[in-house]
Chains A and B, each alone.
Chain A
Amino acid sequence: MVAAVVTAIAAAEAETTGVATGAIQYAWVIALLPFIAAPLILFFGKRTPGQGAVFGIAALGAGFVMALAVLFHFVTGGGTYAPEGIEWFEIGPLHLEVGQYVDGLTAVMLVVVTAVSLAVHVYSLGYMHGDVRFTWFYVVLSLFTGAMLTVVIADNLLLLLVGWEIMGVCSYLLIGHWYEEHENSSAAIKAFITTRIGDVPFLFGIFALIFATGFTTTNIAEIGESIAGPEASSALVTAAALLLFGGAIGKSAQFPLHVWLPDAMAGPTPVSALIHAATMVAAGVYLVGRMFEVFVHADPFVLTIVSVIAAITTLGAAFLALVQDDIKRVLAYSTLSQLAYMVAGLSLGPEGVTAGFFHLFTHAFFKALLFLGAGSLIHAVHSNNMSDMGGLKDEMPVTFWTFLIGSAALAGVFPLAGFWSKDELLVGAWEHNQWLFFVLLAVAVMTAFYMTRCVLLTFFGRYVGEGHPHESPPVMTGPLVGLAGASVVVGFLGAPQLGAVFGDWVYFEHPHDADFVFWVAVVGTLAAAAGILGGYRLYRERRERDPLMAFPRAWNVLQHRYYIDDAYMRGIVYPIRDRASAGVNWTNQHVLDGAVNGAAWVTRGLATFISWIDRTFVDGVVNAVGGLTGATGGLLKYLQTGNVQWYAVLLFAGVVVLTIVFVQIA
């Protein structure tokens, strides 16, 4: 990657003409636009027609066009653009410059983020129509997008961290958007704290990398050079890799920090589509890919750990997705599972990077589509529960067909987007890590199964909810159609038969040539078919009891999310929040402050005692002594009367006297 950077910089400098080069120089503007939009919406939104949404949509629209232009640079074979940044600040030996690092991965991420965010911005015009905090919603949505784009484009880890955490706070604000409900605000806190538990190791990982550069820089490319250099300590790099992965675990909701994401569904559904499916939760995956130099130079067991975490998450979440009634939770667990798919790709080593990111790329479109489709359903029936839906395909044809396309893409049906990315991951796993291959294959079956279940329960059979649902307005169905189109076509970018151009843009070290292994494609398709068939057999008729309740114990465990959330609350949160804090407070009031008050009490007692002795035993013979103790007692008495200025005078006089005495002695 380092060599690639050097040549790329040279290439970028050499190539000074053309549209693409022009666009790439201003790639940072894409990230800046939403940051300009956010305050405009905040301060002027309520006074503009459309209540401010127009600023956000304009910023994202322009950003999307620019992102396409940046991607075009790579389509036409352009190289990485990483100019010298501008000086931010320096502290001790550490010099920080901020700038942009635009390679193929950045370009692809810019397109994904602006595209999905634009779709969500437009969709929310309908979905959030009439919301009490409509304008505020758009402020945070724009702010979030800017932060995510900052993460994508940052050439330096501390700038990346700034974007990373601002995303986190936006996520918090949007999950808690309807904060009147206690459940929602609790979900918001859970999301923020859980990801922060990952962010602390991430921060220490950054420290380790700063250390590796001799405390000189946080520039990602320069860190890469230091890591690859001969004097880099392997233990340090290994520690850094593990710590960085901690950040990814939190943000991308991998086991054991996955607990926040399902609860995050408390936020408005467009938010779930943008933040908790397509973009922010992918940032952890992005981080690992961006810092892959560190993982490559770390001890190999790091990638083994990554693969184990990915396997646990993808499988564990897929099981949970089987038994949900809340349609958003089906999709949320699916997201966990698919994020772990991406992480699994990265765990394969340099060869898996392209596959992992290709899945991130395709998943962003079809999962955003599915969430927005779910939003359309929820908008129509006013419930998240599939048990309140059913039979909606005729009332809501656009939602139905687009949702069907999204589900098929997620299930990996040929030739939709998910098929290609899943196939590439399966091929990679087969070549590099065969036990992981079987895990991924099993998850593929389950994915097809639960999506089939979801489609059947919502669109087929008889409507069992209340009222008369109608198709959503065009501002909502429009983005669905757009994303559905993307879910059909984006997969071809990675189709080996079509040159797999995605691998020319996003890769580690060398452009990646996707292999097409015919039998893997067949097996993958069979897996999808098996899942669909199984789902169809069980759910084609609506039943009172879910067929999977035939396994009551497993059902129960899954309904309780393996009891992990309970264990965290009872084992960690409550003991700290209620007991440790109370213990500390008690210690503070009774031990530490007790000592202070005790000292005061003793002093007062002593003063009283001395003054009593003075009155009782000491008479005129020892006037001098009496005067002294009287003064002591009197002094202490003043402290109680609050006559402090007198004390200050005495103190100062004492100082002067002492000083004079000392001067005389000297």
Chain B
Amino acid sequence: MTWESSAITITTLLPIVGALVIILVPRDRDRMVRGLGILFTGAALVLSIAIAVGFDYGTDGLQFVLDVDWIAAIGARFHVGIDGISMPLYVLTFLLSFLCAVYTWRFVPEPGRTKAFLALMLLLETGMAGTFIAFDLILFFVFWEMVLVPMYFLIGIWGSANREYAAIKFFLYTLFGSVFMLLGFLALYFSGPDPHTFDLVKLTEFGAGGGFTHTFQLIVFGAIALGFAIKVPMWPFHTWLPDAHTEAPTIGSVLLAGIMLKMGTYGFIRIALPVLPEGAQAYAPWIGVLAAIAIVYAALACLAQRDLKRLIAFSSVGHMGFVMLGIATLTEIGIQAAVFGMVAHGVITGMLFFCVGSIYDRYHTRQIAEIGGGMSQRMPKLAGVFAFVAIASLGLPGLAGFWGEVMALLSAFRPNEALLDGQVGLFRVLMVAGGVGTILTAGYFLWMLQRVNMGTMPERWNEHAFGDIHSVEWMSWTPLLVLILALGLFPRLIFGVSQEAVSGIMAVLGAGG
């Protein structure tokens, strides 16, 4: 086994090893458990960066490939690899997990039980990372489902008041989608090339060659897309998200928003579009419409939220709407925008959930009315960071949130000419709706800042001791804050990475992008 072929396997599975090690540590060695969490997530992060450094950004196609027999009876293979679309998400997974582990050094939510908490987080990390590198549908499905269980427990055990409802809803809703997705995968298997295969590369080649009939594509795309759409979540399948986010502990929300939602959008780009291009063509206008609805709807819903965390959760629905709008245009710019939007949303919204977690830690309430404003007076640094991230989230040019949104809108100005000819008018309407969404988005974020940061602090907090940003918080947040600025100023950091791989997908989808 060379580094080339084993790197991603080692990196992806390292967190599970960490989880096993942590389980073996005695319960009372709490510091050691937390240290091990940082150690393993940190080591995995270093390895993922090493992979990124060794990656050849000049070519399309998979690198660091390992393709070996796995479950021979059904032809499932352990086929992993990485390309320019996977890379940013893969590294982001390890980065956010590491920062969550750092955060956990100080903050373990009630009821404690650090061991189980960190072990589940590490299990989650492997599941998420694996989703982005799996090139066998069964392997993909295993990683996809592997994510559910730890997140279920993170919400169900360490969540807030209504945690059980939220956890079950999250689990069942996602599972409901997965069933259709799995049926779709099986259909691909049985109707695909001979010999039957779950191999994504082979299925993509087969699909691009027109191997699947039109009707088959319509049905199967619908089934697979439903699974992904629930995960994204696309409107109107999003109602699990606000509950899950609101109840989840801080790092659960960070990872849920930062990475897990991207599994759905990634699935569209990686599986649904290239394997079933005619399905994509037929569904694209509908996806676009749902995406635009999500943008406006979520922004309006945000205006009505009284719970800070629920507000941020709804804002995710809108941001993912921009990502889906980009995908729906079936253009190179749109898909590039989607990849950028996924990473930017991961960084920004992950950071927003960190902020909200820390605000809750100070106030022990998430109700905007109870916080009552004036945070800038007593905690100027926390308020400043919160404002910075909120402004990034509303898409200020020069910060990370801008490029994904603006390029998605640009792609809607001219959707794929070959595939979506005749839909230009529709997509321009969607573009305008997205534009209106950006105004509303600015509205709810600034209103939120007015009610939380500005004004004077209510008297009831007079006796309350507030600590501004703690050093552990600085350590876990600084990389994200730097990234928010860096991605905004140098969008090439993502566009340059995903470029070749997206061109490859465009070649499969057909010209006109």
* Chain B residue contacts of A215, Cβ below 8 A: 333, 414
A203 touches B455 (CB 8 A): no
Known: A193-B439, A659-B74. A584 touches B172 (CB 8 A): no
B301 touches A588 (CB 8 A): yes
Name the one of B190, B376, B432 contacting A179, with C-beta atoms under 8 angstroms.
Answer: B376
A584 touches B304 (CB 8 A): yes
Known: A89-B496, A91-B407. A592 touches B300 (CB 8 A): no
* Chain B residue contacts of A658, Cβ below 8 A: 186
A602 proximal to B (CB < 8 A): no
Bound complex: CA of A382 vs CA of B237, how far in Å?
Answer: 56
Q: Which one of B88-96, B162-170, B251-259, B270-278 contacts A?
A: B162-170
Name the one of A94, A192, A201, A666 contacting B333, with C-beta atoms under 8 angstroms.
Answer: A94
* Chain A residue contacts of B440, Cβ below 8 A: 576
B190 touches A666 (CB 8 A): yes
Q: Which of B449-485 contact A (CB under 8 A)?
A: 450, 453-456
Bound complex: CA of A472 vs CA of B414, how far in Å?
Answer: 58
B376 touches A204 (CB 8 A): no
B513 proximal to A (CB < 8 A): yes
A207 proximal to B (CB < 8 A): yes
Q: Which of A603-648 contact B (CB under 8 A)?
A: 639-640, 642, 644-645, 647-648
* Chain B residue contacts of A652, Cβ below 8 A: 145
Bound complex: CA of A662 vs CA of B173, how far in Å?
Answer: 26
Majority SS at the chain A contact face: helix
B414 touches A162 (CB 8 A): no
Bound complex: CA of A425 vs CA of B64, how far in Å?
Answer: 68
B332 proximal to A (CB < 8 A): yes
* Chain B residue contacts of A207, Cβ below 8 A: 409-410, 413, 431
Known: A200-B436, A584-B304. A179 touches B455 (CB 8 A): yes
B303 touches A581 (CB 8 A): yes
* Chain B residue contacts of A189, Cβ below 8 A: 443, 446-447, 450
Bound complex: CA of A182 vs CA of B447, how far in Å?
Answer: 11
* Chain A residue contacts of B386, Cβ below 8 A: none
Name the one of B74, B164, B168, B453 contacting A660, with C-beta atoms under 8 angstroms.
Answer: B74
* Chain B residue contacts of A648, Cβ below 8 A: 145, 148-149
A312 proximal to B (CB < 8 A): no
B240 proximal to A (CB < 8 A): yes
B193 proximal to A (CB < 8 A): no
B336 proximal to A (CB < 8 A): yes
B409 touches A193 (CB 8 A): no
Bound complex: CA of A88 vs CA of B149, how far in Å?
Answer: 42
B74 touches A193 (CB 8 A): no
B442 proximal to A (CB < 8 A): yes
Residue among B240, B305, B331, B492 facing the most chain A CB atoms (10 A cut-off): B492
* Chain B residue contacts of A176, Cβ below 8 A: 454
A653 proximal to B (CB < 8 A): no
A192 touches B456 (CB 8 A): no
* Chain A residue contacts of B402, Cβ below 8 A: 162
Q: Which one of A165-173, A278-286, A300-308, A388-396 contacts B?
A: A165-173
Name the one of B238, B439, B455, B491 contacting A197, with C-beta atoms under 8 angstroms.
Answer: B439
* Chain A residue contacts of B97, Cβ below 8 A: none
Bound complex: CA of A93 vs CA of B414, how far in Å?
Answer: 12
Find the A residue at minimum CB distance from B310: A585
Bound complex: CA of A123 vs CA of B449, how far in Å?
Answer: 30
B381-410 vs A, Cβ < 8 Å mask (1 yes, 0 no) = 000000000010000111000100011011
Name the one of B175, B391, B491 contacting A89, with C-beta atoms under 8 angstroms.
Answer: B491
B117 proximal to A (CB < 8 A): no
* Chain A residue contacts of B246, Cβ below 8 A: none
A145-172 vs B, Cβ < 8 Å mask (1 yes, 0 no) = 0000000000000100110111001001
B196 proximal to A (CB < 8 A): yes
* Chain A residue contacts of B74, Cβ below 8 A: 656, 659-660, 663
Chain B: minimal CB distance from A218 (Å) = 10
* Chain B residue contacts of A211, Cβ below 8 A: 413-414
Bound complex: CA of A197 vs CA of B443, how far in Å?
Answer: 11
B54 proximal to A (CB < 8 A): no
Find the A residue at minimum CB distance from B443: A193
A90 proximal to B (CB < 8 A): yes
* Chain A residue contacts of B368, Cβ below 8 A: none
Name the one of A90, A94, A185, A660 contacting B454, with C-beta atoms under 8 angstroms.
Answer: A185
B492 touches A639 (CB 8 A): no
Chain B: minimal CB distance from A190 (Å) = 10
Known: A193-B446, A203-B409. A644 touches B152 (CB 8 A): yes
Chain B: minimal CB distance from A642 (Å) = 6
Known: A596-B169, A648-B145, A651-B175. A585 touches B413 (CB 8 A): no
Bound complex: CA of A295 vs CA of B374, how far in Å?
Answer: 46
B73 proximal to A (CB < 8 A): yes
A15 proximal to B (CB < 8 A): no
Q: Which of B475-513 contact A (CB under 8 A)?
A: 490-492, 495-496, 499, 513
Name the one of B167, B297, B377, B450 contacting A642, with C-beta atoms under 8 angstroms.
Answer: B167
Bound complex: CA of A93 vs CA of B376, how far in Å?
Answer: 44
A557 proximal to B (CB < 8 A): no
Find the B residue at minimum CB distance from A180: B456
B439 touches A580 (CB 8 A): no
A515 proximal to B (CB < 8 A): no
Q: How many residues of A contact B (CB 8 A)?
A: 66
Bound complex: CA of A193 vs CA of B444, how far in Å?
Answer: 10
* Chain A residue contacts of B456, Cβ below 8 A: 180
B152 touches A161 (CB 8 A): no
Find the B residue at minimum CB distance from A184: B454
* Chain A residue contacts of B149, Cβ below 8 A: 644-645, 648
Known: A207-B413, A596-B240, A663-B74. A585 touches B333 (CB 8 A): no
Chain A: minimal CB distance from B18 (Å) = 20
Find the A residue at minimum CB distance from B513: A92
B172 touches A639 (CB 8 A): yes
* Chain B residue contacts of A200, Cβ below 8 A: 435-436, 438-439
Q: Which of A265-289 contact B (CB under 8 A)?
A: none
A655 proximal to B (CB < 8 A): yes
B59 proximal to A (CB < 8 A): no
Bound complex: CA of A656 vs CA of B446, how far in Å?
Answer: 51
A210 proximal to B (CB < 8 A): yes
A600 proximal to B (CB < 8 A): yes
A196 proximal to B (CB < 8 A): yes
A570-608 vs B, Cβ < 8 Å mask (1 yes, 0 no) = 000000110011111100100011001000100000000
Chain B: minimal CB distance from A578 (Å) = 8
Residue among B332, B397, B406, B438 facing the most chain A CB atoms (10 A cut-off): B397
B496 touches A203 (CB 8 A): no
A169 touches B168 (CB 8 A): no
Known: A193-B442, A576-B440. A203 touches B190 (CB 8 A): no
* Chain A residue contacts of B36, Cβ below 8 A: none
B209 proximal to A (CB < 8 A): no
Bound complex: CA of A396 vs CA of B420, how far in Å?
Answer: 70
B290-331 vs A, Cβ < 8 Å mask (1 yes, 0 no) = 000000010011111100000000000000000000000001
Known: A193-B442, A580-B300, A642-B164. A662 touches B410 (CB 8 A): no
Chain A: minimal CB distance from B310 (Å) = 10
B423 proximal to A (CB < 8 A): no
Bound complex: CA of A140 vs CA of B496, how far in Å?
Answer: 32
Bound complex: CA of A188 vs CA of B449, how far in Å?
Answer: 11
A186 touches B414 (CB 8 A): no
Given contacts A89-B496, A644-B148, 7 further A-B contacts (CB under 8 A): A161-B397, A166-B397, A192-B442, A203-B435, A585-B301, A600-B172, A644-B152
- CB pairs A–B below 8 angstroms (15 shown): A91-B332, A91-B337, A203-B406, A210-B413, A576-B300, A576-B303, A581-B301, A582-B304, A585-B300, A593-B239, A600-B169, A642-B168, A644-B148, A645-B149, A662-B189
Using a CB–CB cutoff of 8 Å, the interface residues on chain B facing chain A are: 73-74, 141, 145, 148-149, 152, 156, 164, 167-169, 171-173, 175, 182, 186, 189-190, 196, 236, 238-240, 297, 300-305, 331-333, 336-337, 374, 376-377, 391, 396-398, 402, 406-407, 409-410, 413-414, 431-432, 435-436, 438-440, 442-443, 446-447, 450, 453-456, 490-492, 495-496, 499, 513
